[in-house]
Amino acid sequence: MKNLPAILKNNNYKKIKFKVLKTQHLLIKASINGIKGSFILDTGASNSCVGFESVELFQLNAGTSKTKATGAGATGMFTQLAKNNQLQLGSWKNNDFNLVIFDLTHVNAALIEHKVKPVQGIIGADILLLGEGIIDYYNRFLYLSLANSK
């Protein structure tokens, strides 16, 4: 649909470019607490998350969590929760965002096996729902509504 970018722009959506990796993962840049990182855009992930190794990088205050994470190839993984963070994708931002923290070793091992750089985290359905996300696969843009940016 050639008109999609114009329609979304007129409806206060902002576009964020993503890349398609050779593993077919969608790679998107984001900032957490003002620090940039690389993330997989994953519509199947219920929550956005970062790896334990990135807690210090993003200045997260990791607290306890009773939730166990499950993903492709892994179940019952220990998690922590980091509350009240600033998350920014392009000009869309949320200044009170919670992130799940868990072991991304299996994700990054798979990327490295295919000679792809590791990521710091995953942008999940929580962002897509909050930002009323629309993914334009053909042009490789994620659109998020500024109406839900705070």
CA–CA dist 89, 19 (Å, integer): 14
Residue 73: pLDDT over 70:
no
CA–CA dist 137, 29 (Å, integer): 16
**Identity of the residue numbered 133:** G
Quote the pLDDT of residue 114.
95
Residue 80: pLDDT over 60:
yes
14-58: per-residue pLDDT in tens? Answer: 999 999 999 999 999 999 999 999 999 999 998 999 999 999 999
94-147: per-residue pLDDT in tens? Answer: 999 999 998 898 889 999 999 999 999 999 999 999 999 999 999 999 999 998
Quote the pLDDT of residue 79.
82
Structural domains in the chain, CATH included, are 4-148 (2.40.70.10)
Q: Which two tokens stand for residue 53?
A: 């190794």
